[in-house]
Amino acid sequence: MIGFCMTGSFCSFSKSLAVLLKLAEKYEILPIMSENAYFLDTKFGKAEDFRKKVEDICKKQIVRTIPDAEPIGPSVVLDCLVVCPCTGNTLSKVALGITDTAATMAIKAQLRNCRPVLVALATNDGLSGSAPNIAKLLQRKNVFFVPFAQDSPFKKKNSLVCDFEKVRDALDAALMGEQIQPILAT
């Protein structure tokens, strides 16, 4: 089973749902959402609509609290945990050992088991505030990245976004304990 954890990069939700739909054709998926992803309505859509789509695709209730996510450590075996989309917030917390959401709890639990986590990054501060934390996770065992790049270098000079088209190939590699290359998307 694959874990699919969505965090609050709301502009990436439609692309992430397209990825989820494809993954669900091949894998049993355990859906997980950070509390912000689960509850917040934004200009990109209503939380309830996104939740329904995710649960319809996965045919499972969304893991959305720290106690819900805790069993991923001792009892729920995930072959890989895909964090898609992954905010700078969630990525930075994980890099710094902070566990205060369902998403960070799921990631912590998966890493406790020495199993792979695949990060599909989308953050406006990838080349500023989150940069040191991205660097930390690049060196962390069992953490892999979907290839990423600057998405709008002149309008949003610090923004980094992964290539959502490459999630499936990156997952195949992560399942074998490998980082897909090149990690910097072109």
Ligand X SMILES: Cc1cc2nc3c(=O)[nH]c(=O)nc-3n(C[C@H](O)[C@H](O)[C@H](O)COP(=O)(O)O)c2cc1C
Interaction of residue 34 with ligand X, rule CB under 6 A: yes
Interaction of residue 87 with ligand X, rule CB under 6 A: yes
Interaction of residue 16 with ligand X, rule CB under 6 A: no
Q: Which residue of the chain is nearest ligand X when measured via CB?
A: 8
User: Using CA atoms, how far apart are residues 27 and 18, in angstroms rounded to an integer?
Assistant: 14
CB-nearer residue toward ligand X: 77 or 135: 135
The three-class DSSP label of residue 98 is coil
CB-nearer residue toward ligand X: 57 or 66: 66
The DSSP bridge partners found for residue 82 are 4, 118
Contacts of 4 (CB under 8 A, 6+ apart): 20, 23, 29, 30, 31, 32, 58, 82, 84
CB-nearer residue toward ligand X: 137 or 173: 137
- Whole-number minimum distance, CB 126 to ligand X, in Å? 8
Judge contact between 31 and 69, C-beta under 8 A: no
Q: Considering only 42-50, 74-82, 141-149, 170-178, which stretch makes contact with ligand X by CB under 6 A?
A: 42-50
The DSSP bridge partners found for residue 29 are 2
User: Using CA atoms, how far apart are residues 161 and 163, in angstroms rounded to an integer?
Assistant: 7
Report the run of H or E that residue 17 belongs to, with start and end.
helix 13-26
Please report, as residue ranges, which positions from 89 to 108 form the binding site for ligand X (by CB under 6 A). Answer: 89-90, 101, 103
Pick the binder of ligand X from 2, 3, 4, 10 (CB under 6 A): 10
CB-nearer residue toward ligand X: 10 or 27: 10
Site track 121-150 with ligand X (rule: CB under 6 A), x = hit: -xxx--------------------------
Alpha-helix residue ranges (DSSP H) falling in 32-130: 35-39, 47-58, 66-69, 88-95, 102-112
- The site for ligand X (CB under 6 A) is made up of 7-12, 34, 36-37, 42-44, 87-90, 101, 103, 122-124
